[in-house]
Amino acid sequence: MQAIISIPAETHALASDLTTLSGFMLKRSGSDFYRTMADLDLSFTQVAALGALDLEDGELSVKELAAALSVSLATASRVVEALHGRGLVERREDERDRRMKQVRITAAGRAIPARVHGARLAAVAAFVETLTPVQRRRLAAAITPLVARPDVAACRAKRAGR
């Protein structure tokens, strides 16, 4: 059952429009995304794990990865085992607690989120190509200050640094 939340009308209208646009973009990129996923022969959870590790500057424990993915520790352990078997992550025992395993993405592993991102980017670029010059300028004017926000810019900086 969905929680009932109170959203101010102005916020609701904008959030609804953004949700519609986001849904459209996801739908539009869906076939490329699913084709990419099929080519990779990885589960959504495995790709999500690589994405989470890709955004890290160092290592995550399997427990931290499980929390980041909202999965059980057992599921995260199986995901890490499968990714390790394919050379997409490295794992090692934690020096302070040998029961804990630390996980780091490999160069081959970093190629996976980059490929998924590329498929999404291509779909967004195709949409942008359909915009008129006026629509493009307006979109750029609206979006530029949003991507400059520190929380959003941090995501861009991490992705660009890879």
pTM recorded for the entire structure: 0.76
pLDDT values of the chain reduced to their tens digit, one per residue, 162 residues: 456 678 888 899 999 999 998 888 878 777 777 888 889 999 999 999 999 999 887 899 999 999 999 999 999 999 999 999 999 999 998 788 778 899 999 999 999 999 988 888 888 898 899 999 999 999 999 999 999 999 888 877 555 554
Beta bridge mates, 105? 89
Asked whether residue 11 is assigned to any structural domain, the reply reads: no
Q: Tell me what pLDDT residue 145 has.
A: 94
Q: Which domain holds residue 63?
A: 16-130
- Looking at residue 139, what is its pLDDT? 95
In-domain check, residue 82: yes
Assigned domain for 60 exists: yes
Which amino acid is located at 110 in the chain? R
In a domain, 139, yes or no: no
pLDDT given for residue 160 in this prediction:
55
The amino acid at 34: Y
Does residue 72 fall inside a structural domain? yes
Position 26 in a domain: yes
Residues in the chain: 162
CATH classification at residue 120 = 1.10.10.10
Number of domains comprising the chain = 1
Type and span of the H or E element at 71 = none
- Does the residue 46 lie in any domain? yes
| Assigned domain for 40 exists | yes
Helix (H) or strand (E) holding 150: helix 150-160
d(CA 155, CA 160): 9
Backbone angles phi, psi at 108, to 5 degrees: -65, -35
